[in-house]
Amino acid sequence: MNIVFMGTPAFAVSSLQRLHEAGHNISLVVTQPDRPFGRGKKIKKSEVKEKAEELGLEIFQPTRIKHEDSISKIKELNPDFIIVVAYGQILSKEILNIPKFGCINVHASLLPSLRGAAPINWSIINGDKITGVTTMLMDEGLDTGDMLLKSEVEITEAMTAGELHDVLSEVGAKILIKTIDEINDIERVKQDNNKASYAPMLKKEMSLINWKDSAQNIHNMIRGLNPNQLAYFPYLEGSTVKVHKTSIIDSFNGNSNYEAGTVLEASKNGIFVKAGDDKIILIEEFQMPGKNKVSTKDYLRGNTFREKIRLDYEYFKTINDNF
């Protein structure tokens, strides 16, 4: 098969690798332009570009895929498929109509659930137990095209968005190959828009932990934001602490007299923080400002963490006007 592949982040790399290993002719890899990244604003290639260079494939990085020059370049290749995996630009109807067998998208959810930009994160934030990958024929809507194949994945209680991302990337690559190989025999299933839900882009303000929420919701949010934009809470002297790993404790002796967000204990057993439903968030891994991630147990071997304080801005303002 003659394939034009469109993708940008790490999630798309497994699909590109599998297509290459399967012997398909990848005539062009389309990915987002190199961009400045991090505090130093060093120019960074996309993960897909790095993989394409490794495989010796032709790379195209248009600023606007809808531009006539971009459309003409793709038309000249006369592809059987355009494969889209987290590319990052909306395709016009003119592009969607180019390939013989259509544009196939690999989407990281069980459609029509979690259409949109961040389905992996929201599946965990929402507390879902099952998610998966769907291949679909693209149309002009937002993840609204006819579904082709699906594959389910279990979300475990401790799984982070980063861990789920890696699993779904591999699963997506596998069902993509199956979709291409069996395209003439696959029944196309229309999505039920009445059952649709959405997974919008993550916002920075989501990262501040709301200790008044239930322990389960807090735990889900922390997992769902890891590693994209780690959840955090304020600490002494105006600093903030990022949280990498937590678990839930159903009960803790003597917690009834304290408000949500209070550090009930900080010891070798962990940092125990009261949630809004009287259950406890056990912080197992975190990151102090300017430091690397560390387990609570290792940190407290040589450091202290204040007990009986509340980890929210309202509290710290009462004890420090300059906070």
Chain segment 76-111, per-residue pLDDT in tens: 999 999 999 999 999 999 999 999 999 999 999 999
Residue type, 27: S
Structure-block tokens of residue 67:
């531009």
CA distance from start to end of the chain: 61
Interval 237-274: pLDDT, tens: 889 999 999 999 998 877 778 999 999 999 988 999 99
pLDDT in tens, 151-191: 999 999 999 999 999 999 999 999 999 999 999 999 999 99
Confidence at 321, pLDDT banded by 50, 70, 90: low
